[in-house]
Structure 1
Amino acid sequence: MKMEELIEDTNPIYDVNLISNNSDTYDATEVTENGLNNTNTCYQIPGLFTSKTLLELSNSSWSRSRNANEQIQPYLRGCKWSPDGTCCLCVVNNDGVHVTELPRDLYTGDVASGRLIDVLDSVIHVKESGLIYDFCWYPAMNSSIPETSCWLTTIQNSPIQMWDAYNGSLRCSYRGYNAVDEMEAALTITFTPDCSRIVAGYTKVLRTFDVERPGRDYVEHKITSPAACLATDSNLLAVGSWNSTISLYNVSETGTYKSIGKMHGHAAGVTHMKFTPDGLKLVSGARKDHRLLVWDIRYYRRPLNILHRAMDTNQRVYFDISPCGKYLVTGGTDGIVKVWDAEKNDWKSSLNTADEGDDATYKFPLHKDCCNSVSIHPCRPILATGSGQFHFTNPITKLESPEDLQKEDIDDFRDMKYSSTAENCLVFWWTGDVL
């Protein structure tokens, strides 16, 4: 099935906007083949994690070809649901970008325990020539409106590129240049909430592009440390850096930045951040840092709460917050998905003093390898998870006499990922009630 067929579907697709931070009720705009139809109707979506179990719905995996070099490892590096919930965008190491559709029977209704597991195929595959630094959907993306169906990528030695989600073609590019007029790649990208501008982070500057004006026209703002990740909400911009700090900015309508302050707390470079739906909290994670820090942006001098996950890699490990603001979900290098429920574990208003690894409301051992990404469906009780990481060759196997190796020498290798157990897959899980 091709993505164009979504337009002809008689079932409505919903562009949901949160109206209550403490409930699962949404103000939905019905999308038909004739365009938007404002029904002003509130829809109740099924609750997340109500059965405290996860049911596997679909699976897609990648493997190295038989004759490929040992260093070529096509593991998944991130997955994100489209804003309309019809498909999932994922980045695969050494294999570009893949778009995978949600099976049509999961658009509505409940799921039975005996449902067969779907084997997913990519409907779009864009092969990239270099390392993909970051990617994101157009926030107003809707499959029934072709103009909005697109995503951005920023790639090593390449400009920011916008891709068409219907056929995988390149729509346009946004290019940033340094002081000697050399094109440089952005390290991280995001859209502003109103979808009118693109914010790109570089090693020394932030550049703001107008979505409707591709090319090299941009507004530039100097920063003191490289931008590793970005998060936006309303007129706020959070910039996570490799030097472990987070900078807060107020962004005006003209694209100028006013510094609010810096937040210190992580032990290494910040790799991922996300605002809560109410815009008052910010959650951040860093490389080789077992803590997720929850910040109140009104009192940002110290973390509001500390949550724990397994994080023994420099790789970016994504987490997600449910549209209702009730759940925080993250993976880890141990393959366990952890869930914090704001009603059972108040992760948003008090400092957690629990022992590391014992503070989550729910724990699901879903993967045998690193669970590097999770993404919550915008309007259905479905969770997408991705697994995989780079596996090094075990240095001990190259020794002539491994029994002569001292214990302290073995400890030196504890952070190297040379396990023979590799799992590179994208999986959809049902988190609601099961028939």
Structure 2
Amino acid sequence: MDIDADLALPNESEINQNDDTNIETNVATEAELYQYPKLFSSKTLLELCNSSWSRSYNAKNNIQPYLRGCKWSPDGTCCLTVVNNDGVHVTELPKDLYFGSVNPERKIDVLDSVIHVKEAGLVYDFCWYPGMNSNVPETCCWLTTRQNAPVQMWDAFDGSLRGSYRGFNAVDEMEPALSVTFNPEGTKIVAGYKKFLRTFDVDRPGRDFGEHKINSPASCLVTDRNLLAIGSWNTTISLFNMSESGNYKSIGKMHGHTGGVTHIKFTPDGLKLVSGARKDHRLLVWDIRYYRRPLNILSRVVDTNQRIYFDVSPCGKYLVTGGTDGVIKVWDIDSVNWSESVDVTEVSKDNATFRFPLHNDCCNSISIHPLRPILATGSGQYHFNDPVSALEDSVMDNDNVASLDKDVSINSDMKYSSNAENSLVFWWIGDLPNIT
């Protein structure tokens, strides 16, 4: 077939040159369109919004609605929060914070939940759909797993139940998953149980699942590309290679924590893993290529069995964690190279770049916004009532002070506090141009 000279196909060298030019143009265009903002550059946090929960007047003393985790949606439009004894809440980010900077004199917004799912029982774990986009309603959903219930998928627009994924044991009894997550593509659900990993197809709710036996309960899960890391209450972290068909091949185990592992997270480059445990004041940084010993050890305050979250910024430069003392700690890789080898002589030294005492109670929830310089923090924990103070109040009310046993004293190891703070707060962690 004859080809007109004006329509002649380019030769191979011209094709390669054009392809290289197009790739460079596309990369430059993407860089110009969006560049992740600098964080903590002003060394000051500005409160943007808050929301709080309190016990109703007629509720019993053991009903305490403290926060147990918060996570930004992948598109950054809303924040998912789990509140003890009050289910799951979805809180939207005010639209004036979508773009630009903020004025230091900006009024603090008091936020209300746009979605409230009143789930009964203790929520063990929750996660967003990884491809969530508010412009595509089908992708707007999250997963929860809770006490005496299957893994459930919820709609983020109206809070309705989309489907349930049930795991059954050898005697055909439904058992709850301890942890749950999606694979990176969002096509499968990986649920961790006491003795098994079970894989469900997102498109097939019900009891159809693949099963892989594990040696210890899966208290937390995280996936990255073809890797799956599993934290356990027996203080170990197991690393698996996932196949597209849902099969798992063991890579190895990591040992180093003194308490049960409660939260793990990959860094954005996928080469390192950060882990935290209960009643363990250390954050361990692992290189998954050489996982026999921790790469670095960071310190925080964790005095209870409660899960204390941490987060790594999408740019991979900052590691932020909460603590039972209410202090937020930040490690900047430019100031403290937290992702490199540890100096064993300074393991006990607190080398955090910044410390922000933001809460009067335990700060258990941390989540960095995926696109904006905004940090979400959640506070709260279970508070025990002091029996001696209650007895004194009862005696004083009866005007019978003499009947109080003066030998009754509080054990010095027992600490009772009524200083409860159950709040979700959004903080600006970017530049503040007009601050004085």
SS of the residue aligned with 2:302?
Answer: coil
1:313 aligns to 2:304 (yes or no): yes
Match of 1:390 in 2: 382
Shift of 1:132: 0.5
- Any idea what SS the aligned residue of 2:114 has? strand
Match of 2:431 in 1: 433
What do the CA deviations read for 1:231-290 (whole angstroms, capped 9, x no partner)?
111111011001011111011111101001111111111000000001110000001100
For residue 75 of structure 1, the aligned residue among 51, 63, 66 is: 66
On the 8 A contact 1:382/1:431 being kept in 2, the answer is yes
Structure 1 residues 37-56: aligned runs within 5 Å:
42-56=33-47
Tell me if structure 2 keeps the 8 A contact 1:386–1:427: yes
CA distance in 2 between partners of 1:68 and 1:404 (Å): 29
Per the alignment, residue 366 of structure 2 pairs with 374
Q: Structure 1's 357 and 57: CA in aligned 2 closer, same or farther, altered over 3 A?
A: farther
SS at match of 1:320: strand
Contact 2:241 2:250 in 1 (8 A): yes
Paired residues of 2:272 and 2:285 also in contact (CA < 8 A): yes
Tell me if 1:253 matches 2:244.
yes
Q: Which amino acid aligns with 1:280?
A: L
> Is the aligned partner of 1:419 residue 2:412?
no
Unaligned runs of 5+ in 2: 1-25, 393-403
Equivalent of 1:160 in 151, 171, 177 = 151
Letter in 2 for 1:390: Y
Residue 50 of structure 1 deviates from its aligned partner by: 0.8
Greater strand percent: which structure? Answer: 1
Amino acid at match of 1:348: S
Aligned-CA RMSD value:
1.8
Q: Give the match for residue 120 of structure 2.
A: 129
SS in structure 2 at match of 1:105: helix
Query: 1:162-190: CA deviations, max 9, x gaps?
Result: 00000000001101000001111000000
Residue 33 of structure 1 is matched in structure 2 by none
1:331 Cα deviation after fit: 0.3
Taking a change above 3 Å as real, the CA distance of residues 292 and 27 of structure 1, as seen in their structure-2 partners, is: farther
In the alignment, structure 1 residue 214 sits paired with structure 2 residue 205: yes
- Percent identity, aligned pairs only, is 72
Structure-to-structure mapping, 1:126-205, within 5 angstroms: 126-205=117-196
Q: Work out whether residues 53 and 65 of structure 2, in 8 Å CA contact, stay in contact via their aligned partners in 1.
A: yes
Q: Is the 8 A contact 2:297 2:347 kept in 1?
A: no
User: What amino acid is aligned across from residue 40 of structure 2 in structure 1?
Assistant: F
Amino acid at match of 2:379: S
Partner amino acid, structure 1, of 2:430: G
For 2:320, the equivalent position in structure 1 comes to 329
Where does the alignment leave 5 or more consecutive residues of structure 1 unmatched? 1-25, 29-37
Instruction: Quote the Cα distance in structure 2 between the aligned partners of 1:318 and 1:54.
Output: 19
Superposed CA deviations along residues 392-412 of structure 1, whole A, max 9, x for unmatched, are 112443485566648xx413x
Q: Is the 8 A contact 1:241 1:269 kept in 2?
A: yes
1:359 lines up with 2:351 in the alignment: yes
**Contact map agreement 1:27 1:42 (CA 8 A) in 2:** no
Structure 2 distance, partners of 1:402, 1:228, is: 45
String of CA shifts for 1:364-408, please: whole Å, max 9, x gaps. Answer: 0000000001100000000000000000112443485566648xx
Please give the alpha-carbon distance, in whole angstroms, between the structure 1 residues aligned to 2:53 and 2:387: 26
Corresponding residue number in structure 2 for 1:300? 291
Q: Superposition pairs for residues 13-92 of structure 1, below 5 Å?
A: 42-92=33-83
8 Å Cα contact 2:88/2:116 also seen in 1? yes
Which protein is bigger by CA-based radius of gyration? Answer: 2
Q: What is the TM-score normalised by the length of structure 2?
A: 0.88
Per residue, is there more helix in 1 or in 2? Answer: 2
Q: SS at the partner of 2:412? A: helix
Q: Given that residues 153 and 161 in structure 1 are in contact (C-alpha distance below 8 angstroms), is that contact kept between their aligned partners in structure 2?
A: yes
Asked if the contact 1:27–1:43 (Cα under 8 Å) also holds between the matched residues in 2, the reply is: no
CA distance in 2: counterparts of 1:204 and 1:432, whole angstroms: 44
The answer on 1:283 being equivalent to 2:274 is yes
Asked if 1 retains the 8 angstrom alpha-carbon contact of 2:298 and 2:347, the reply is no
Return closer, same or farther for 1:304/1:401 CA change in 2, 3 Å cut-off: farther
TM-score of the aligned structures, taking structure 1 as reference length: 0.88
Pick from 114, 119, 122: which aligns with 2:110?
A: 119
Give the one of 347, 353, 357 matched to 2:338.
347
1:264 corresponds in structure 2 to 255
**Alpha-carbon distance between aligned partners in 2 of 1:326 and 1:410, rounded to the nearest angstrom:** 42
For the 8 Å contact 1:396–1:402, the answer to whether it is kept is no
The size of the alignment, in residue pairs, is: 395
Amino acid at match of 2:294: P
Q: In 2, distance between residues paired with 1:27 and 1:174?
A: 41
Q: Deviations over 1:192-227 (max 9, x none)?
A: 011111100000000011111111111100001111
Matched, 1:243 2:234: yes
Shift of 1:41: 5.7
Hey, what's the Cα distance between the residues in 2 that align with 1:432 and 1:385? 16
Aligned-residue offset at 1:356:
4.0
Q: Is the 1:236–1:249 contact (alpha carbons within 8 Å) kept by the matching residues of 2?
A: yes
**2:406 and 2:105 mapped to 1: Cα distance?**
49
User: Which of 78, 82, 85 is matched with 1:94 structurally?
Assistant: 85
SS of the residue 2:346 aligns to = coil
**Structure 1: distance between partners of 2:356 and 2:167:** 42
